[in-house]
A = this chain, B = another copy of it.
Amino acid sequence: MFSAKSVWQLPAAEPRQTEDIGIEPPCSACALRHAAVHSEVDENDFSLLIAKAVQINLQEGQTLFIEGASAERLYSILRGTLMTYKSTPDGRRQITGFLWPGDILGLRRDGRYVCSTEAITQCSLYSYPMEAAEEIVQKNPLMEWRLLEITRQELIEAQEQMLLLGRKTAKERVAAFLIKLERQERDRGNQDAQIFLPMNRSMVGDYLGLSTETVSRMMSDFRNSGLISAGNERKVQLFDIPALESIANGLA
């Protein structure tokens, strides 16, 4: 049982790029190695894990696994963006998180994945046997502690999302989403307030508990108010971050 999405901050992570997917050099940026390094764990154990890793590539729209499937493997993202989601029997979908390079995924309960996972862009991942990975983590207290911190961070973010989904207006939700992406972008070393949205409007809606159309309308409102850039709908410049933060927090 691992986190569905880690929020491991890679030191100054490599820019996300979906081209040039091929055979990777020995994993240098993946979350588990970073864990090992960060935790000052013996490299030997990590090598054991890497020895069992298999690299896989996914095409845009490809499903990695679905909720309820037997959770045999743990994944670490090298490149690309994915999403985890849950569905109701009649097809309504709630996206529980977007996953970026450096994140790990494979949260399970009773040996089964708790969310479905799908590639939003072309992706490159490392795949580890779940049992072996758990064993190695259990043998490394510092690694285990790091994993606990990651899981807690995810829980904190999930609680923030609950506030958003339960109590915020459509405008507040979309503003919060833009602010969140911008902050991520900044944390990854991207200085300008330009953000790239690999997901389409329908995915944003399913993440924010809104319809595609409502997301689009809110984006148009922000554009018409001069808060964000016009032009490319997948590449957005935030002109007034404080104003968007105010909106996101219900202060405007």
Residues of chain A whose beta carbon lies under 8 Å from any beta carbon of chain B: 1-4, 86, 88-90, 92-94, 96, 107, 109, 114-115, 138, 141, 144-145, 147-149, 151-156, 158-163, 165-168, 206, 208-209, 249-251
Partner of A90, one of B90, B156, B206, B250: B250
A154 to B165, CA, bound (A): 18
Give A161's nearest chain B residue, CB to CB.
B162
Q: How near does chain B come to A89, taking the closest CB pair, in angstroms?
A: 6
Residue from B141, B151, B163, B250 within 8 A of A151 (CB atoms): B151
Copies of this chain in the oligomer: 2
Q: A145-B138, A149-B1, A151-B155 are in contact. Are A249 and B163 (CB under 8 A)?
A: no
Contact indicator B155/A92 (Cβ below 8 Å): no
What is the distance, in angstroms, from A203's C-beta to the closest C-beta of chain B?
Answer: 13
Complex contact A155–B107 (CB within 8 A): yes
Residues of the B chain whose Cβ atoms lie less than 8 Å from the Cβ of A94: 162-163, 166-167
Who on chain B is nearest to A151 by CB? B151
Residues in B with CB closer than 8 Å to A2 are: 152
Q: B148–A92 contact, CB under 8 A?
A: no
Q: Which of A96, A156, A159, A250 has the most CB of B within 10 A?
A: A159
How close is A206's CB to chain B, nearest CB, in angstroms? 8
Please measure, in the bound complex, the distance between the C-alpha atom of A250 and the C-alpha atom of B92, giving whole angstroms.
Answer: 9
Assess whether B153 is in contact with A154, with CB atoms less than 8 Å apart: no
- Which residues of chain B come closer than 8 Å to A90, judged between CB atoms? 250-251
From residue A239, how far is it (CB to closest CB) to chain B in Å?
A: 23
